[in-house]
Amino acid sequence: MDSVRPNTSGEITLQGIPVSRGIGIAPIHVVARGFNAPEVYRITDVEFEKQRFSAALERTKEQLTELQKRIESISGEKDSQIFEAHLMMLEDRAIVDKVNEAIANRGQNAEFALYAVAQNFLEAMRRVPDPYLRERTADIEDVCQRVLRNFSQEDQRDSAPQEQHVLVAYDLSPSDTAAMNRQLLLGFATELGSVNSHTAILARSLGIPAVVGIEGAVLAVKALTPAILDGYSGKLILDPTEETLHHYSELKKEKDRVRHELEAQRDDAAITSDGRAITLSANIELVEELPLVQNSGAKGIGLYRTEFLLLNGEELPGENQQTETYTRLAQALAPHPLIIRTLDAGGDKLPIEPLTEPEPNPFLGWRGIRVSLDRPDMFKEQLRAILRASAHGRVAVMFPLVSGIKEVRRGKDMIKECMDELASQDIPFDENLETGVMIEVPSAAVIADLIAPEVDFFSIGTNDLIQYTVAVDRVNHHVADLYRPTHPAVIRLIKRTIDAGTANGIWTGVCGEMAGDILLTPLLLGLGVEELSVGPHQVPRVRRAIRALSHAECSAMAEEALQTPLSLDILEMTSTLASKYYPELVD
């Protein structure tokens, strides 16, 4: 097993993906759970089964409401909103009606009818190519599991240990995570999960160290085994030596000290030591992440990905529903900005129009702004919703995957059409709505000087820019080592974009993974970036990095980097500055 590394002392290290920072040192508690099929049997009284289903729904609503109150008492009202989607599922008439129909049509018990309906929906979700949307199946499973348990009046919860422990599980649902005793749970590790799952978001919100993606974790560990969970590097260490225990005990003390310092600096401005101000924003995908943004001290949202809002269902949400969501965010963030990226998804992800055949190369196919421009009715619904929300806060719109100036102009023309439509109906909106583009395609970076006069800002999506520039799919293990953020071509394209923006009086930000990598902060500042938009949990660290650095020194380093031919040498240059000015942050 690749994720397991033993040493001669008997100490074993299991490697996973870190999703919530922190260190937990305690014995292991193991939980193996799954979404198993309930017993199935024939029924004679359909109405009685429907009543049983209704009663289970009501018990589930009561439990989720209690969980909301628990989270609110721990970390505030906003964090508890992560269960709003769960409650909405329970009240979704389409789902409830399908289960009731299945009870009648199948002539089988309500538990199995619910399971059958849920499995059909989950299977459709699992086939969605977008990994982020596939992860949302965990939320559906969570709700269904809870309803299934509530067909019985008996308390079927797993008995939790009454001493401090590190939890190891195949997977954890958001409600499992929320119900944990924070005084006893010192961290958890799972086989499934991702950085963007609701469970990971809750772990970060509650301050629980967490690691996911450890292959075979449940079978690899034994209950009560002494362990260390490293939420910084993604390690679960079993039977640690005294030397390892001492190392992590000291490391935990140091990390806790730094974390408290970062929290205390939440309201400090992101200004370099020689006075250059940087706008530090947050990236989000879920409205539920808003509390994390506010608690981080980020100055607004620099990238709101709308794919989950638009594609998390059998049909696209209407204009009013979109307006409500965008308005809620804009009002909560005011006076800071909310930058909304229009739909960035391939045609194979559109629930209203599934492709009959997969595209041969979807990364070079029908996606991003191309889909929106080809489906103007869908696009205009989103644009009108954004415009309507702009009357309630500082809202901007951003087009993804722009490759040329024609796409920019067509997008702006459609915004103008929407403005005229809203004006004719006396619906208020910001007539000066700022419009920006994502620079993710090399062609857009090369002609950034031509695009700049057309827009109000640039936001560089480094993930796609890197992979398109060096022709490397970073998830392909055969070539993943060639995916290098410091490739000379990449940093030259970033510099070209920034210079084009500066020459035309518009700002340039970075919203890809490079923005949150504190080893690369000196390089980005030196290249002239004016805004960084990162995950909410990364904001405190990036703020500290910015405040520790001298812009003049970073600029001198960047000038040298632009003349350096090897990416590893450039990485060494920027890492040296990072280690010099904030060694306590460099893991």
User: Is the predicted pLDDT of residue 348 greater than 50, yes or no?
Assistant: no
Give me the CATH topology for the region 4-31+159-262.
Glucose Oxidase; domain 1 (3.50.30)
Give, in order, the Cα–Cα distances in Å from 68 to each of 4, 65, 85, 418, 514: 37, 5, 12, 38, 35
- Each residue's pLDDT tens digit, 200-241: 877 876 779 999 999 888 878 887 899 999 999 999 999 999
pLDDT value at position 41? 82
Helix (H) or strand (E) holding 31: strand 23-31
Mean pLDDT, rounded, of the chain: 86
CA distance 133 to 312: 7
Q: Is 210 left (phi over 0), alpha (psi -120 to 50) or beta?
A: beta
Token output for 216: 């075979």
Q: What CATH number matches the domain at 46-149, 1.10.10.10, 3.40.50.11810, 1.10.274.10, 3.30.70.260? A: 1.10.274.10
Homologous superfamily (CATH) of 276-554 is Phosphoenolpyruvate-binding domains (3.20.20.60)
Cα-based distances in Å from 4 to 12, 66, 218, 228, 247: 7, 39, 12, 14, 20
Catalytic residues: 198, 511
Q: Work out the pLDDT band at 310, boundaries 50, 70, 90.
A: confident
pLDDT tens sequence across 527-576: 999 999 998 888 999 999 999 999 999 999 999 999 999 999 999 999 99
Domain ranges for the chain:
4-31+159-262, 46-149, 276-554
How sure is the predictor about 35, in pLDDT bands with cuts at 50, 70 and 90?
A: low
What mean pLDDT is predicted for residues 283-304? 90
For residues 132 and 96, give the distance between their C-alpha atoms in angstroms, rounded to a whole number: 26
HEC assignment per residue over 153-216:
CCCCCCCCCCCCEEEEECCCCHHHHHHCCCCCEEEEEECCCCCCCHHHHHHHHHCCCEEECCCC
Alpha-carbon gap, residue 484 to 500, rounded angstroms: 24
Residues linked to residue 212 through DSSP beta bridges, in sequence order: 17
Q: DSSP secondary-structure letter at 390?
A: G
Q: Which residues contact 425 (CB under 8 A, 6 or more apart)?
A: none
419-441 pLDDT, tens digit each = 999 999 999 999 999 999 999 99
Token pair listed for 472: 């490397």
Distance, CA of 327 to CA of 338 (rounded, Å): 10
Does the structure show a pLDDT above 50 at 155? Answer: no
DSSP character at residue 32? -
> What percentage of the chain carries pLDDT values higher than 90?
53
pLDDT of residue 97: 87
- The answer to whether the 46-149 and 276-554 domains have the same CATH topology is no
Integer Cα distance of 175 and 185 in angstroms: 15
Task: Taking residues 374-380, report their average pLDDT.
Answer: 94
